[in-house]
Structure 1
Amino acid sequence: MDYGYQLLRHAVRQVFGNLGQAARLTLLLAMAPTIFLAVTNTDLMTGGPGFDPSNPNAQQMPEVNWLLVLIGAILSVVAWVWAAVAWHRFVLLEEYASGPIPSWRGSSNGRYFIRALQVGLILVGAMIAMTIIIGLVVMILPGFGVGLILGIGLIIGISWVGTRVGLVLPAAAIDAPLSIGESWQVTGPVSGQILLPIIVIALVGGLLSQAVLVLFGVGIVAVLVSAVISWLQLLVNLALMTTLYGNLVEGRQLH
């Protein structure tokens, strides 16, 4: 069986086969930033009364309290790290939730945050390099179709690089030593196969997001449904890295 398909199947089963525990470990934390934004910036979530961006005579953009937005952004980072560490530890260490939210692990969360920053900087560098290359290609071969294909390739490429170096994240969550170079090296033999789950996860997430726009338009319902979809997509992406770490670093079998 193709390794990429095995990875995808295992990651999806990891999430949906443990959906109850996944919700206890991560859902409240994942939804907290959205709830905070909905409560503190209602107009931003709903577009405000009578707001219609397609109408040239529409009211001005709703006022936004940027201090609260900043607080919400910080809350998002803390909640994301907290939830991600809890999920990795559940999968790799069978550490279950003992309450409505997982236990706070300061050292692990701090280490995870630093690793996530390092991975983020690598992705920014990769994005800049790829964008320059895409710009040169578009100059030589102008056209909407070429730009669209290269844009999709950029998203896939960034996700691929992130997955290659991202095994440091589950390692940090369980306090195991693994460098970014080692993560890149250990994923080398399967670097081509991991493209399948990356593409499928991104494609399904994009299609579901578009479906939300068609079904619900804009507003608080659309935001909440989108937040749930983003939560599930995040879990599957984390499960993909956790599966790779378990298989390539710890030697676990893919079932």
Structure 2
Amino acid sequence: MRGWHIFTHSAGLVFRNLDAAFRISAVPYCAHIAAQIFLLLNPALLATTDVGTDIDATMGGALPQVEPLAYAIFFCLQFAAAIASLWIAVNWHRYVLLEEIPAGPVPPFRGDLVLGYFGRSVLIALLLVVALFTLAIPAGLLMTSMPGATLPLVLATVAGVLYVFLRLGVILPAGTLGRKLTLHNAWQATGAESGAIFALAVISVLGMTLVMIPNIVAGDSLSLLSTVYGLAVGWVVTMVGASLLTSLYGICVEGRTIA
């Protein structure tokens, strides 16, 4: 299956080149680690209301008291983690497509490319919101009549949104190479591989669902073990996700073939 072939090729780009992958991602990914450690030490940041208390009953419960500074630090760390993900993606695209390897332990931070990547990501995100609503409305109607099909319908909706992202997302690696690619051009360029990309979206959603099972079974998402597992999975998802876009750009736009 073509979609599975692209998926395994993209994952292989990471695991066959672990030295380069770690060199490109190790330092930026520390931002993710810092954010998760801070959350682990301040679990009240994600606490839900305790309905069993009679404090602030008008609001349905009481939230734990958290210093505003803690929230500020948390959001700053989350922002840094988001920028770090863009930093990693920019350098990984350039490594795979241009064979550009960082000279030192810290990958170059190309502010203009990261900013452009952010802007294009926001543009795609806005279109994905439209796609989500378009798919969620009929899915929601089906859920009301077939409650037992809720999970498959949710997964199908996510796969549909991811399909749109993968079709349009080839503009992201294009930007890191300094090449202009419009959304319309991206949609046209990926048209020949639309079936494979849909299969790729389904495979990715199923894969993400499987890797989430251990944390769901564990129950405590803020435990040390869950945090370590989440960081490891997050790194793999970040790298393989960047590789998927890189592969699709190479195949659909540059006309490359994969072994």
TM-score (ref. length: structure 1)? 0.86
- CA deviations on 1:156-190 (whole Å, 9 max, x unpaired) are 01110100100001101111111111111111111
Is 1:251–2:251 an aligned residue pair? no
After superposition, residues 33-52 of structure 1 pair within 5 angstroms as 33-39=32-38, 42-44=41-43
Q: How many Å apart are 1:55 and its aligned residue?
A: 11
Give the superposition deviation at 1:62.
Answer: 6.6
Query: Which residue in the other structure is 1:182 paired with?
Result: 185
- Change in 2 beyond 3 A, CA 1:45/1:61: closer
C-alpha deviation, 1:52, in angstroms: 11
Report whether the alignment pairs 1:166 with 2:166: no
The 2-side partners of 1:78 and 1:189 are apart by 32
Greater alpha carbon shift after TM alignment, 26-35 vs 117-126: 26-35
Give 1:216 deviation, angstroms.
8.4
Tell me which residue corresponds to 1:135.
Answer: 140
Shift of 1:102: 0.7
Over aligned residues, Cα RMSD in angstroms?
Answer: 2.7
Cα distance, 1:81 vs structure 2: 1.0
Cα pair 1:88 1:173 within 8 Å, conserved: yes
What corresponds to 1:28 in structure 2?
27
> Number of aligned pairs?
249
Q: Per the alignment, do residues 224 and 55 of structure 1 end up closer, same or farther by CA in structure 2, a change over 3 Å counting? A: farther
1:70–1:10 Cα change, 3 Å: same
How far off its partner does 1:11 sit? 0.6
| CA 1:215–1:197: 2 relative to 1, 3 Å | same
Task: For residue 42 of structure 2, give the secondary structure of its aligned residue in structure 1.
Answer: helix
Contact 2:135 2:157 in 1 (8 A): yes
Indicate yes or no: 2:88 matched with 1:83: yes
Seen in structure 2, the aligned counterparts of structure 1 residues 5 and 187 have a Cα distance that, compared at 3 Å, is same
Contact 2:120 2:171 in 1 (8 A): yes
Cα deviation, residue 201, structure 1: 2.5
Q: Contact (CA 8 Å) 2:38, 2:74: kept in 1 or not?
A: no
Contact kept, 8 Å, 1:43 with 1:62, in 2: the verdict is: no
Give the unaligned 5+ runs of structure 1: none
Residue equivalent to 1:150 = 153
Q: 3-state DSSP class of the match of 1:194?
A: helix
Question: What is the Cα deviation at residue 68 of structure 1?
Answer: 1.4
Tell me which stretches of 4 or more aligned residues in structure 1 moved more than 6 Å: 51-55
Q: Could you tell me how far apart the structure 1 residues matched to 2:249 and 2:65 are?
A: 45
Match of 2:201 in 1: 198
1:54-93 alignment runs, 5 A limit:
61=64, 63=66, 65-93=70-98
Percentage identity across paired residues of the two chains: 27
Letter in 2 for 1:38: I
* Alpha-carbon contact 2:45-2:71 (below 8 Å) kept: no
Distance in 2 (alpha carbons) for counterparts of 1:225 and 1:201: 18
Task: Please give the TM-score of this superposition, normalised by the length of structure 2.
Answer: 0.85
> Is the Cα–Cα contact under 8 Å of residues 201 and 237 in structure 1 kept in the other structure?
no
CA contact (8 A) 1:201 1:233 kept: no
1:115 and 2:120 matched: yes
CA distance 1:33–1:124, change in 2 (3 Å): same
Distance in 2 separating the partners of 1:165 and 1:125:
14
User: Could you tell me whether the CA contact under 8 Å between 1:8 and 1:240 is conserved in 2?
Assistant: yes
Instruction: Give the deviation of 1:214 after TM superposition.
Output: 3.6
Q: Report what 1:220 is aligned to.
A: 224
Q: CA deviation at 1:248?
A: 1.4
The offset of 1:53, in angstroms, is 9.3
